[in-house]
Structure 1
Amino acid sequence: MSVADAFDAVAGSYDAARRRLVPCFDDFYGAAVEVAAPPLRAALAEGRTPEVLDLGAGTGLLSLLLTAAVPGVRTTLVDAAPGMLAVATGQLTARGVAHRVVAADLTDPLPAGRYDAVVSALAIHHLDDDAKRELYRRAGQALAPGGVFVNAEQVAGPTPALDRRYDEVWTARITELGSDAEEIAAARRRMRHDRPATVAAQCAWLEAAGLVDVDCFFKQWRFAVFGGHRH
């Protein structure tokens, strides 16, 4: 089963499980929105529509949070799973958010345009490291001057022992939050597609892609928010 198939299979129930499977949900997504918002607000102050590119957008959760924080944004959602994009379309349309969806893999060319923010949540870790580096390069090129790239991501521990500890903590927390054995098993089946990298490696790749002010803005065990700006 492909990554797209795995996520299409849970498109209808995906968002309902987020607050259990991402134990730091509010801080994690909140940090991503905080980092992405300033150039979007600056675009509005200049009298133009802020443009967002959401990579591996899934059900549109991050785009919905961004457009709630900065009304007036136009977002382009890219995902290889048509079922997830259908959910995103329904949610964005219901909220009157200007958007377009593009069914494509993250290794495909990015939709043409210059974006004030390129964002992603829990998607890029499905790529191998070479593909991550190449996507970061292309994402940086897609940014307008002063634009921001933000990745809210599942990351690897810097050592095998820490990586194991990340998983122990995650399993304990999601169990406390109400995930049952079936939900955990389904999540682990999807995680077979995961190829996470460390925060340090990915920040180095962003700098190599030409981004500045690169930093990790939030981290709680395996969940991290990092990114940088284009000059």
Structure 2
Amino acid sequence: MVVTEAFDAVAGSYDEARRRLVPCFDAFYGTAVDVALPPLRAALAAGRTPQVLDLGAGTGLLSLLLGAVLPEIRVTLVDGAPRMLAVAADHLTARGVAHRTVRADLTDPLPSGRYDAVVSALAIHHLDDDGKRALYRRAATALVPGGVFVNAEQVAGPTRALDRRYDEVWTARITALGSDAAEIAAARTRMRHDRPAPVAAQCDWLAEAGLVDVDCFFKEWRFAVFGGRRP
């Protein structure tokens, strides 16, 4: 698969550029962690090991941030890029976070089990819209009652004009943060595989999948965090 090959090629250096290429890094990932934590803490209070499914986990960045706050979690990381998964496993092992890795595409059946939180960061936008909707349905059924799905995602503007403006702002901000021409060019090469959708449509799809309390919890131009809860 071309997408996985593109990300495998940069597995060793992928995390170095995150704070430049995601200008709102702290608020973006921090919001995703905040949305995911309540059912994980509830599981721990009930005497269970909190279970997390990380879709398109890459180098495990979101799982690492969750583990930093709640080290008792157990994470199942799904990604089609084996080198990215290897980096994630090394990071999680070093931090003492229990985990397993599953090499699979986001169009494949999800790993068996029921999860207190299904999370994803900057991955689902590689699917077309039908693929996104199908994945949201699978994610909803994989949750325990009261579990949450949270997607920290790159989204499209609701109009072409706004989408162009998103890109202009992103380019200006990452340049100001120190991204050089080579880094920007490499990012744009990976972005050729992107199929982002507007956040409003994706919230509708989550509701169609049976989730409640669906909302966009954070949005800054093309970066948004949205999700919902299984009743």
Pairwise TM-score range, normalised by the shorter structure: over 0.9
Q: Does 1:40 align with 2:40?
A: yes
Q: What is the CA distance between 1:94 and its match in structure 2?
A: 0.7
Letter in 1 for 2:175: T
Q: What is the CA distance between 1:142 and its match in structure 2?
A: 0.1
The answer to whether the 8 Å contact 2:71/2:96 transfers is no
Question: Who is 1:158 aligned against?
Answer: 158
Residues 13-32 of structure 1: pairs in structure 2 closer than 5 A: 13-32=13-32
Question: Who is 1:172 aligned against?
Answer: 172
DSSP-derived class of the 1:130 partner: helix
Q: Give the structure-2-normalised TM-score.
A: 0.99
Structure 2: runs of 5 or more not aligned:
none
Q: Deviations over 1:19-62 (max 9, x none)?
A: 00000000000000000000000000001100000000000000
DSSP-derived class of the 2:71 partner: coil
DSSP-derived class of the 1:105 partner: coil
Letter in 2 for 1:29: Y
Q: Give the structure-1-normalised TM-score.
A: 0.99
Q: Deviations over 1:51-83 (max 9, x none)?
A: 000000000000000011112000000000001
DSSP-derived class of the 1:53 partner: strand
Identity among equivalent pairs (%) = 83
Taking the aligned partners of 1:95 and 1:123, their CA distance within structure 2 comes to 23
Q: What is the CA distance between 1:155 and its match in structure 2?
A: 0.0
Letter in 1 for 2:95: R
Question: Who is 1:216 aligned against?
Answer: 216
Question: How many residues are paired up?
Answer: 231
Question: Who is 2:123 aligned against?
Answer: 123
Letter in 1 for 2:62: L
Q: What is the CA distance between 1:11 and its match in structure 2?
A: 0.3
Q: Deviations over 1:71-117 (max 9, x none)?
A: 20000000000010000010001111100000000000000000000
Q: CA RMSD in A?
A: 0.5
